[in-house]
Amino acid sequence: MNKLLSLAVGMGLAVQAFVVHANASNIPDTQTRVIQTPKGAQVEVFINGTGAPIVLLPSRGRGAEDFDPVVPFLQQKGYQVIRPEPRGIGKSTGPTENITLHDLAEDINQVIEQVAKKPAVIAGHAFGNWVARMTAVDHPDAVRGVVIIAAAAKSYPEAMPELVEKVRHATDQSVPEAQRLAALEYGFFSKGHDARSWLKGSYGNVSKLQRAAGKATPQSEWWSGGNAPLLEIQGDLDPFKPQSTRQEMKDEFGSRISTVVIANASHALVPEQPQALADALDSWIKTLKP
């Protein structure tokens, strides 16, 4: 777990009944639960497979279906893949005003407690990794490890004003489609990958509440990820992670963190290189203590 890995890859809650989910996932065997949390939230959870649990958290303003491409690969490797829908999407509800990352982390803790029923690896894509790390800080006994997928540099957004505008355009459904597509191609997808797959699936209200929760939580409260083992997965073409910042987490966390760089991937990463992502997750999880 203390070595730097590099992958060069080509293109490439309380309701007991399970039902096939027909809307937020295109995976045929997806099962759904809706859990209730002690703090009044409700979380819709999509579950695939059995085995060691891995919880997947999508990026800001986006839903659980973003991980559809990687789920079959993880199932094949013998994992129980758990995808909580963020508050404001599908059947997931809860307070949206005056909340912090601690509130969102409690949602995930309840998912682990009620669905996984054992400590889980949490993998968060972009903003999702903030929630993953916050969960590890607040609920260390629930987390085996944290995977940080396509995290922006520590100084974002202060040091990257041009990307802030692109993010706004890419996630704002009121922006003309052509402009949104250009923003996605600029900041999220590498050349040769179809950015149109992300023209849908953005939720402005969810992005707003998540942004507010992030701003209401000092970075110092979640950044460490507690004491959990860390894996950072970077896309080699991710503009949110300039070359000059590639080693910043390794420099800070040392042997506690492993790094994987996936070739031909940008900030979206998950739909661009799902098999490479699954391979990286599997290789690292096998190094963790049971």
104 pLDDT higher than 90: yes
Radius of gyration of the chain (CA): 17
- Tell me how far apart the alpha carbons of residues 222 and 55 are, in angstroms, rounded to a whole number: 18
151 pLDDT higher than 70: yes
What are the pLDDT digits (tens) for 48-97? 999 999 999 999 999 999 999 999 999 999 999 999 999 999 999 999 99
Helices (H) and strands (E) in the chain, counts: 9, 9
Q: Smallest Cα–Cα separation from 63: which of 78, 79, 45, 51?
A: 45
What are the pLDDT digits (tens) for 213-257? 999 999 999 999 999 999 999 999 999 998 999 999 999 999 999
pLDDT at 25: 62
pLDDT at 289: 87
- Coil, helix or strand for 119? coil
279 pLDDT higher than 70: yes
Q: What sign results for the dihedral spanned by CA atoms 84, 89, 91, 96?
A: positive
Write down the CATH number for the domain with range 31-155+202-286: 3.40.50.1820
Alpha helices by DSSP H, 77-229:
101-111, 127-138, 161-171, 177-187, 204-215, 219-222
What are the pLDDT digits (tens) for 5-56? 433 333 233 232 233 333 456 788 899 999 999 999 999 999 999 999 999 9
Q: What are the residues whose beta carbons fall under 8 Å from the beta carbon of 22, sequence distance 6 or more? A: none
Could you tell me if 142 and 54 are in contact, meaning their C-beta atoms sit under 8 angstroms apart? no
Could you tell me if 288 and 144 are in contact, meaning their C-beta atoms sit under 8 angstroms apart? yes
Letter string b/e over residues 72-100, b meaning 16 or more CB atoms within 10 A of that residue's CB:
bbbbebebbbbbbbbbbbbebbbebeebb
95: amino acid identity, one letter? P
Please give the average per-residue pLDDT across 120-135, as a whole number: 98
Q: Quote the distance between the C-alpha of residue 166 and its chain's center.
A: 19
CB atoms inside a 10 Å sphere around CB 126: 25
161 pLDDT higher than 80: no
pTM of the predicted structure, to 2 decimals: 0.90
For every residue of 34-91, DSSP letters joined together read EEE-TTS-EEEEEEE--SEEEEEE--TTB-GGGGTTTHHHHHHTTEEEEEEPPTTSTT
CB atoms inside a 10 Å sphere around CB 251: 10
**Antiparallel, parallel or unpaired: β 230-235 and 143-149:** parallel
What are the pLDDT digits (tens) for 172-222? 888 899 999 999 999 999 999 999 999 999 998 999 999 999 999 999 999
What are the pLDDT digits (tens) for 106-117? 999 999 999 999
**Antiparallel, parallel or unpaired: β 79-84 and 42-48:** antiparallel
- Tell me how far apart the alpha carbons of residues 125 and 101 are, in angstroms, rounded to a whole number: 15
pLDDT at 288: 97
